[in-house]
A and B are shown apart, each in its own frame.
Chain A
Amino acid sequence: MSDAGSDFSGEDGSQEDIMTPAELIAKLEETWLNERFSPELLENKSEMVECVMEQLMHMEENLQRVKKGDVKASIHRMEIDRIRFVLSSYLRSRLQKVEKFFPHVLEKEKSRSEGDPSFLSPEEFAFAKEYMANTETYLKAVALKHMPPNLQQVDMLKAVPEPCLDCFVFLRVKERQENILVEPETDDQREYVVDLDEGSQHLMRYRTIAPLVSSGAVQLI
């Protein structure tokens, strides 16, 4: 795929396995699809983002050395463009969710305990805080400060809608799962249990399979 050919390890070398560039790009695509189809912000993967950016830089450098007009160079350049598109789309998707649900995202970050993984990278967290401050300043300056004293605050957590976790998503099962509890849809039904076989595809409520997405057991499609 790329001329780089060298093996890549994640930033956190002790815990991550060494990945080939092909595996890294495959992982990027999976993470991208999950983020695109999930209604809420998924776990932050900054080491993967950094690895991909390093990989892109390597590929660009290699291309500079190839003589111009070589057909292989255009194919590699297209590959670089494609990878950059996937990465940009992934980051854009995350940023849009941060903007859309900013009070809830910040609240979640505030209330998480020390050991839990962060959903926001430090840069996204800074961006979310600035976005919130900016919006609050604007609302205050234009309208709220002219309103009666008891109405000068707007509770952002109530005003901005939460992500809809009950929406339906398509998924493909990567690891066999047993005894997934499915909630009843109507009053006549009762809750029941399904087994998810490897390779099968389903349409389910996101809420039911949310933990499986973060563990990597299912892939949203």
Chain B
Amino acid sequence: MFCEKAVELIRELHRMGDGQLPAFSEDSIRQVLEEMKALYEQNQSDVNEAKCEGKSELIPTIKFRHCCLLRNQRCVAAYLYDRLLRIRALRWEYGSVLPANIRFHMCAEELEWFNQYKKSLATFMRSLGGDEGLDITQDMKPPKSLYIEVRCLKDHGEFEIDDGTVILLKKNSQVYLRIKLSYIHLNTHFFFIDDYFYIIVRLIVLYIAQTLLKK
């Protein structure tokens, strides 16, 4: 039956929930395009016949093939557009550099689209009031607390924070960092200590601060 391959494309995307990006189905797309070519050529010849020889009984078939062509076009466009939306979400989740296993699932044109999107977004962010602009891909969650405690997974050596202090990041050491800075490195170098543990520590610190202030 016509359009089955096209619907299969949609079903494949629908199956992968959560915005995951499956590999680009180049073969399926090619098959849909070939089907479209065949349908179109059949229609061309039938239209000529109907015109020249007045065979008006061909017209329903022509209309039917045209509907199949439109459906194929719509399915392919929907498949490609939905993939773009997922790729766009990747920029917001992973930042400018995508992990290799995700890049592997993208075709060359999608990578090009991603690069262009990155550039547009960067231009936009830089233009937001003031000289440096505002990085709106940070601050994704409301700030609950000023510092978070993180544990280093790898030896990173010395790291300079924006207020000038230098901290030494050794493997398995635990450090208090300002949340804004932490997000940059979170995906690669650190992980959050449990919130529970952190709340206890913060309460202790506040208690000590209070006692000291009373004196």
A107-128 residues at the B interface, CB under 8 angstroms? 123-124, 126-127
User: Could you say which residues of chain A place their CB within 8 Å of the CB of B213?
Assistant: 71
| Contact residues in B for A99 (Cβ distance below 8 Å) | 88
Residues of A within 8 A of B141 (CB): 85
* A142–B142 touching, CB < 8 Å: no
Q: A147: nearest residue on chain B (CB-CB)? A: B36
Q: Does B21 contact A (CB under 8 A)?
A: no
Query: Contact: B120 with A131, CB < 8 Å?
Result: yes
Which residue in chain A gives the minimum CB-CB distance to B126?
A: A123
The interface-forming segment of A21-29, A74-82, A165-173, A179-187 is A74-82
Asked if residues A139 and B139 are in contact (CB atoms below 8 Å), the reply is no
B128 interface residue (CB < 8 Å to A): yes
In the bound complex, CA of A88 to CA of B133 (Å): 11
Which of A85, A124, A135 interacts with B124 by CB under 8 Å?
A: A124
By size class, the interface of chain A is: 35 or more
A142–B146 contact, CB under 8 A? no
> Max chain A CB contacts within 10 Å: which of B107, B112, B117, B141?
B117
Known: A126-B123, A135-B84, A151-B36. A53 touches B129 (CB 8 A): yes
Whether A148 is near chain B, meaning CB under 8 Å from some CB there, is yes
Chain A residues whose C-beta falls within 8 Å of the C-beta of B138 in the assembled complex: 88
Stretch in B75-83, B166-174, B184-192 touching the partner: B75-83
Q: Mark A47-66, 1 if CB is under 8 A from B, else 0.
A: 00110111001000000000
Contacts A88-B140, A143-B33, A159-B77 known; list 5 others, CB within 8 Å. A57-B130, A71-B209, A88-B136, A91-B134, A95-B124
**23 A–B pairs (Cβ distance < 8 Å), ordered by A:** A50-B129, A57-B130, A68-B163, A82-B143, A84-B134, A84-B139, A85-B142, A91-B128, A123-B123, A123-B128, A126-B124, A127-B121, A127-B124, A131-B117, A135-B84, A137-B113, A142-B80, A142-B107, A143-B80, A147-B33, A148-B37, A151-B70, A159-B77
